[in-house]
With several copies, the nearest count.
Chain A
Amino acid sequence: MTATLDPTETNKDVAQKSATEPLIFERSKQGRRGYQLPALDVPEVSLDEILPANLRRDEITDEVEVSEVDVIRHFTRLSKLNVSIDAGLYPLGSCTMKHNPRINEEIARTPGFAHSHPLQPEHQVQGNLELLWWLEQTLKEIFGLPRVTLQPVAGAHGELTGILMVHKALAKGGNPRKYILIPDSAHGTNPASAAFAGYEIRELKSNNRGTVDLAALQEAVTEDVAALMITVPNTLGVFESEIRAMADILHAKGAYLYCDGANLNSFVGVARPGDMGIDVIHSNLHKTFSTPHGGGGPGAGPVGVSESLIPYLPTPTIERREDGTFYADFSHPDSIGRMRAFHGNFNVLVRALSYMRAMGPSGLRRIAQLAVLNANYIRARLKGHYHLPYDAPTLHEVVFSDKNQTPKDVHTLDIAKRLMDYGFHPPTIYFPLIVSGALMIEPTESEPKEELDAFCEAMIAIARESQERPELVRSAPHTTPVRRLDEARAARQPVLRWKK
């Protein structure tokens, strides 16, 4: 925080200055210390006796010397440059930015969980194993599928896991096949995961409802198609009403139906993927099941599978014995193998189960009901002000475009930035790709009506500003710690670290 001597500067500049924070490396001063350790209590022999000099480094050049005060100040000030769910609506479409209950944080910090080691023998960690077992039981019931692996640590990781299982299953049948079908509305991780699993991508054009066209699918599903990867509801928020028929088409050809469960929040407790003919689904626990997004993670992406894919699940699986004890089972000869060291993001899984227990059967259903109600309320209030590229009924999110604003040269990016001046985090923008200038709004069930109203009023105010004062919107944001960034410069001459 550095003030200035220039008495003529505007107050805004003063305030902006007080909203900047130097890099921790710039705070370093000779002699400062932020740590203390107990004095060494074993004989202090020469380092050479411990490790030959050629295997050692010298001092960590340019590492910091700062006090505890410097550090807590630094991170407290940095935190103030972020917005968060606890401060208000964070309507990032497709990200399900819901309330993160604090009881989850408390429970995850229980010493018995927090300090258990991933390689302890079974008898020392029965509590953890039982917890994992219960989480699988719960997800099985939610998915309507017979088994679930908890190993994947994110949605994309789950996608890779799922497609690898499909590949292995088909390979066992003699031919892993070549293609994965993916609608053009899909999230980028879908094609990326399919590619890393060894497949080529065939993109499916969405029809005018934004959904998969049955006839087109029928045609696309050839003998060398391994699976269709769809998102239910899709990234427009539209439910694929013909999902059962789609499953039949695929199954008839020996192909699998993979469901990206990122949007499970819209139908959890209302309908079950297994009942829709889905063979594999991942769920982003950091979305539907409230584990905090943490600025970009951690997450978890458990994968549920139908009977035919069970042999291929990653190892280990967690099993329960007759006597009520639990163990990690590695005896799956056809398993695709291990997706990650240890047991995945265990302490994310703890939070998710804590949340599921807090919601219960009635609460889980209520999530979907209120998430869909909130989204449709926004849709109803904004419909007259923003263009709705697909007006098929939507569930938990609604995607508008900037079509009504572009004539004034106001674009989605401008609208997003202007929302910040009104105190809101913008929606997801320019996704899905099938909508030009997409504004993808997902409020989640957490939001109170008055927050939705405030958001809608801000959006409506911006729609007006776009007509009456477009330059105000184009030059937004005006009230944030920093204003629009030169992103081109960042990519052209990348500066990716501090240097002295």
Chain B
Amino acid sequence: MSLPDPTAASSSHRFISNAGEDIREMLATIGVDSIDRLFDTIPDDVKLDELLDIPGPWSEVESRRWFRALAARNVTSADHASFLGAGAYAHYQPAMIDQLLLRAEFLTAYTPYQPEVSQGTLQSIFEYQTHQCLLTGLDVANASLYDGSTALCEAVLLAERVAKGKKKVVIAKSVHPHYLQTVRTYIQNLGLEIVEVGWGADGGIDLDALRAVSADAFAVAIQSPNFLGVVEDYDAVAQAAGSATKISVVAEATSFGLLATPGQHGFDICVGEGQAWGIPTQFGGPYVGFMVVRDALKRHMPGRLVGETVDVDGKRAYVLTLATREQHIRRGKATSNICTNEALIALAANMYLSLMGKYGLREVAEQSARKAAYLRAKLKDIQSVELPFAGPIYNEFVVRTPFAAADILKDLEHEKILGGIPLGDFFAGHERDFLVAVTELHTREQLDHYAAVLSAAISRERR
């Protein structure tokens, strides 16, 4: 057996305080002669008689070398002009936020089960919930869900709970494909049926098709701006969706600064992805899923809710509430199985929303939309570039060229431009299309350069 002696100084590890002297003292108090004795309840035949076969232990010096070398093998928006979106957007990230997130009081605390020593986290969640309500025009928001895709799953399940009986959910084909796939996974054993509704010529949902299938559906879910970048007309959709619970999905959260709210236009639930609120794209996570619902639905809400109350001295304070919905009380009958959520990202979002505030959120949205419109117009003028969908957009749109999107994008990459996301990866028959996203961070120079490089690439491909 090649197992080290835990009391040897050579066995000490910087992350583990107790060492030789402490261990001997503690064993004496416990009254056993070695740490191994404490593991007697684990049968020998399942005990390892050697160390695991993995690298390490590494010093910070070695870790920095290895991880930085890995990171250096990625090509990112840190060194390229990126026009990638499709559910993950590079917006302005205020310097203050990351530095505050490093405060141990936020970073290393856990779920505020004990409100007297967790008011910081609780009050922030309460504020976060309020921001969500103001942005969506709905009544009650929760403390966070995993991400946009699972938030949609939870919304569908919520709608099914209140619908009683109905088993059909209608989901727009223009909802983020990953979200739709995730819903399929979640509901696969629950006897529910998903009916997809496609888009019309302008890229907006096909209203007639929607009207045709909504009647017996417990819920209708659409995304706006949808996956093609097109902004949906909530009123028209709500009307077509009839009596079903109406779920709006928002994958580009800065759009709330400019677009009509689901709450004021007939929708019951808004779910989505909060990453656009200044969270790094970080290869897809951690992000933060949000859910905001009409007041009538609040007791069916999944996840944590923070409410206001007072302490014994009458002092205002905040606390986790309506917990009877949750797994730790309701167990098999809970409104969701979620426990650990995305609290720290929700905190970052609260910081972002507070710092940008009423006018900043508006300006981010307007600048993103204006710059997208500017680029879209420029690309339109490029010979043999098509914009397949004419519908109104926020900050993202589909571009079509005569050539395979992958090839065109490779050409752009050579000019240090991450030019877009091939639509063909998600929808067969769209191999010449790609999604282009623009934010307030793009400069006119970058937009002009993009247009120039794209038209050059097309001419090159043509030869």
CA distance A164 to B69 in the complex (A): 37
Residue of B nearest to A50 (CB): B373
Residue of A nearest to B56 (CB): A360
CA distance A343 to B82 in the complex (A): 19
Q: Which of B286, B304, B312 has the most CB of A within 10 A?
A: B286
A370 sits at the interface (CB 8 A): yes
B233 touches A54 (CB 8 A): yes
Enumerate A14-64 residues with CB–CB distance to B below 8 Å: 16, 20-21, 23-25, 28-38, 40-45, 47, 49-52, 54-57, 59-64
Q: Across the interface, which residues of A come within 8 angstroms of B354, CB to CB?
A: 24, 34, 64, 66, 71, 74
Enumerate B1-56 residues with CB–CB distance to A below 8 Å: 3-4, 6-7, 9, 11-23, 25-27, 29-31, 35, 38-43, 45-48, 51-56
CA distance A474 to B48 in the complex (A): 47
B326 sits at the interface (CB 8 A): yes
Residue of B nearest to A25 (CB): B130
Q: Across the interface, which residues of A come within 8 angstroms of B336, CB to CB?
A: 192, 196
B369 sits at the interface (CB 8 A): yes
A365 touches B74 (CB 8 A): no
Which of A68, A87, A477 is close to B14, meaning CB atoms less than 8 Å apart?
A68
A267 sits at the interface (CB 8 A): yes
CA distance A271 to B235 in the complex (A): 58
Which of B76, B92, B110, B283 is close to A293, meaning CB atoms less than 8 Å apart?
B110
What sequence of 0s and 1s flags, for each residue 320-353 of chain B, a beta carbon within 8 Å of any chain A beta carbon? 0111101111111110111111111101001101
B96 touches A497 (CB 8 A): no
CA distance A485 to B418 in the complex (A): 52
CA distance A365 to B16 in the complex (A): 12
CA distance A33 to B11 in the complex (A): 10
A131 sits at the interface (CB 8 A): yes
B383 sits at the interface (CB 8 A): no
B105 sits at the interface (CB 8 A): yes
CA distance A379 to B29 in the complex (A): 10
Q: Which of B63, B285, B319 has the most CB of A within 10 A?
A: B285
> Which of B146-154, B211-219, B238-246 lines the interface with chain A?
B146-154
Which of A61, A75, A114, A360 is close to B134, meaning CB atoms less than 8 Å apart?
A61
Q: Across the interface, which residues of B come within 8 angstroms of A343, CB to CB?
A: 283-285
A359 touches B13 (CB 8 A): yes
> Which of B164-172, B184-192, B193-201, B450-458 lines the interface with chain A?
B184-192
Q: Across the interface, which residues of B come within 8 angstroms of A59, CB to CB?
A: 358, 362
What sequence of 0s and 1s flags, for each residue 410-445 of chain B, a beta carbon within 8 Å of any chain A beta carbon? 000100001001000100000000000000100110
CA distance A62 to B135 in the complex (A): 10
A354 sits at the interface (CB 8 A): yes
Given contacts A24-B354, A120-B75, contact A79 B59 (CB under 8 A): no
A372 sits at the interface (CB 8 A): yes
B116 sits at the interface (CB 8 A): yes
What sequence of 0s and 1s flags, for each residue 384-405 of chain B, a beta carbon within 8 Å of any chain A beta carbon? 0000000010100000000000
Q: Across the interface, which residues of A come within 8 angstroms of B20, CB to CB?
A: 30-31
What sequence of 0s and 1s flags, for each residue 79-123 of chain B, a beta carbon within 8 Å of any chain A beta carbon? 000101011101010111011101111111111111111111101
Which of B15, B102, B185 is close to A101, meaning CB atoms less than 8 Å apart?
B15
A127 touches B73 (CB 8 A): yes
A111 touches B71 (CB 8 A): yes
A401 sits at the interface (CB 8 A): no
A156 touches B327 (CB 8 A): yes
Q: Across the interface, which residues of B come within 8 angstroms of A485, CB to CB?
A: 115-116, 309-312, 317, 319
Residue of B nearest to A23 (CB): B127
Q: Across the interface, which residues of B come within 8 angstroms of A97, CB to CB?
A: 108, 110
Q: Which of B43, B53, B55 has the most CB of A within 10 A?
A: B43
Q: Across the interface, which residues of B come within 8 angstroms of A380, CB to CB?
A: 29-31
Which of A60, A117, A156, A354 is close to B362, meaning CB atoms less than 8 Å apart?
A60
A347 touches B327 (CB 8 A): no
CA distance A420 to B370 in the complex (A): 51
Given contacts A393-B40, A484-B116, contact A37 B363 (CB under 8 A): yes
Shortest CB distance A364–B (Å): 6
Residue of B nearest to A64 (CB): B357
CA distance A75 to B121 in the complex (A): 10
Given contacts A59-B362, A372-B38, A490-B307, contact A354 B67 (CB under 8 A): yes
Which of A57, A188, A294, A446 is close to B343, meaning CB atoms less than 8 Å apart?
A294
Given A33-B19, A176-B189, 17 more pairs with CB closer than 8 A = A20-B316, A37-B363, A40-B366, A78-B120, A81-B123, A124-B75, A153-B146, A157-B337, A198-B190, A348-B285, A359-B15, A370-B16, A370-B23, A445-B16, A446-B15, A485-B309, A498-B126
- Name the 8 nearest CB pairs between A and B, nearest first: A360-B56, A198-B189, A342-B284, A112-B71, A294-B344, A360-B57, A118-B284, A31-B19
Q: Can you name 7 A-B residue pairings with CB atoms under 8 Å?
A: A32-B19, A100-B107, A127-B70, A153-B150, A188-B329, A270-B42, A372-B35
